[in-house]
Amino acid sequence: MTRKNTPVIVGAGTTEQFGQFPDRSILELATEALKNALEDTGIGRDELDGLVTNMGSPLSRHYDRLCEALALDVGFTAQYWAHGRWVGSGLQHAAMAVETGVAEYVAVGLGLKFTAVDQMGGEESVSLSEIGSIGEHSERPWYGMTAPVGGNALATRYYMEKYGATSEDLAHISKTFREHAALDPRSHFSKPIDIEDHQASRYIVDPLRLFDCAPLSDGGAYLIVTTAENAASLPNDPAYVASMEGLHAGRENHLFARPGMGIRTQREYEYDASVTDPVFERAGVTRDDIDALYTYDAFTPNVWYALERWGFCEPGTAFEFARDGNISLDGELPMNTHGGLLSNGHISAWNHLVEMYNQLRGEADKRQLTNADTVQFATPFGDSIIMRNEEP
């Protein structure tokens, strides 16, 4: 059924490169990406009346500082706290804003410097431990786990022991996403790696090696969200936000494990992915209709957990699915076609959403999938967005 003010994405922009840019400020990166998004959309800065971001200082800039610096005058803003897992929620917030008539054109995204910040004219290093102190990642500092890699390593070791997966299985994910990244000139890392390279890389927290962990990247990415009615007068074909599922929280959820694994406060039980059916039903599709899947791959095992949480693989089988080539561009379910956080760049996953939009409008260059009309963002955390190139 047609919804009033159906939310759509009508433009996207990024910085020319993702990587490490010590001589560029956060505001410079944000300006480049937002300017490109507005030009791609075909609207002026004065038409923008909403702004949503998932990070402020020190890694990015708070919404009010950004509006002040870029001479924006908006009537709707939202900002989450400094974790990449709020990207999906950020786009959902913007979609709800335009659907309810709170705003007409909302920019979602950020300019990001994971490696350093420029504060009060000086350079200041930022560690993942400091980021974690802003809000935890399901670890506990008094156990010595003060960065995300600790919580993920805990869940990964459990998964390996229970199902027989190995570090070499993770290597296939790293290798595949690096191959995808090599097709995107913006990528932070595009040099090919093989299984041996992965296995020779040093441990960060056993069983996770260097190539199992996303880099700390600098860059920027924005999308512009509006209504289908407004999109009719704009140059680009819209991508419809067909369905959404919110970020889950509670005793049965762990940021680096699907439900049922028994990590931290979770119960251990046989997980049934039918609980995720509603997000597909609301979009009017089935899992078989999904042409590509995008997940928050800060660590390679997140691919396993997303595949199983959302019902693309039975519990304990995702490592075989990924190992056997099914997540490559010509596989059964292509994933992170731009290389993801692991290789394209850790732009907090806004680059994932940009890639989804570009796939739907047929502008993903050498990475373009054939007949891509339905794509999904779905994380181990329980949030999801399904986009389609036709109205649901």
Q: What is the pLDDT of residues 37-61, one digit of tens each?
A: 999 999 999 999 999 999 888 889 9
CA-CA distance, 28 to 350, in Å (whole number)? 17
Instruction: List average pLDDT for each run of 10 residues in the chain, which is 392 residues long.
Output: 79 98 94 98 96 91 93 95 85 97 97 66 48 54 68 92 97 98 98 98 97 96 97 96 94 87 89 97 98 97 98 98 98 98 97 98 97 96 96 82
Among residues 378, 333, 347, which one has the least CA distance to residue 18?
A: 347
Give tens-digit pLDDT for 230-261: 999 999 999 999 999 999 988 888 878 899 99
Task: Dig out the tokens for 377 from the structure.
Answer: 């963002």
Q: Supply the pLDDT for residue 150.
A: 84
Partners of residue 208 on adjacent β-strands: 205
221 touches 31 (CB < 8 A): no
pTM given for the model: 0.94
Calculate the alpha carbon distances from 301 to 70, 218, 244, 335, 359 in Å: 38, 23, 23, 13, 24
CA distance 303 to 380: 8
By the 8 A CB rule, do 176 and 261 touch?
no
Amino acid at 165: A
SS3 186: coil
Contact 247, 382 (CB under 8 A): yes
Report which DSSP code applies to 213. Answer: B
The secondary structure element, H or E, covering residue 123 is strand 122-125
Q: Which two tokens stand for residue 349?
A: 């996953």
Q: CA-CA distances (angstroms) from residue 181 to 221, 352, 379?
A: 16, 12, 20
Helices within the chain (DSSP H only): 26-41, 63-69, 87-99, 128-134, 148-163, 167-181, 195-200, 228-231, 277-283, 301-309, 318-323, 340-343, 350-360
Q: Which residues pair with 222 in a beta bridge?
A: 13, 109
Q: Give backbone dihedrals phi and psi of 355, rounded to 5 degrees, phi first.
A: -65, -40
Q: φ and ψ at 14, to 5 degrees?
A: -135, 175
Angle between helices 350-360 and 87-99 (to 10 degrees): 60
State the Cα angle at 19 between 254 and 194, rounded to 5°. 70
Q: How far is CA 176 from the centre of its chain?
A: 17
Q: How many angstroms separate the CA atoms of 295 and 336, rounded?
A: 7
Task: Convert the pLDDT of each residue in 332-361 to its tens digit.
Answer: 999 999 999 999 999 999 999 999 999 999
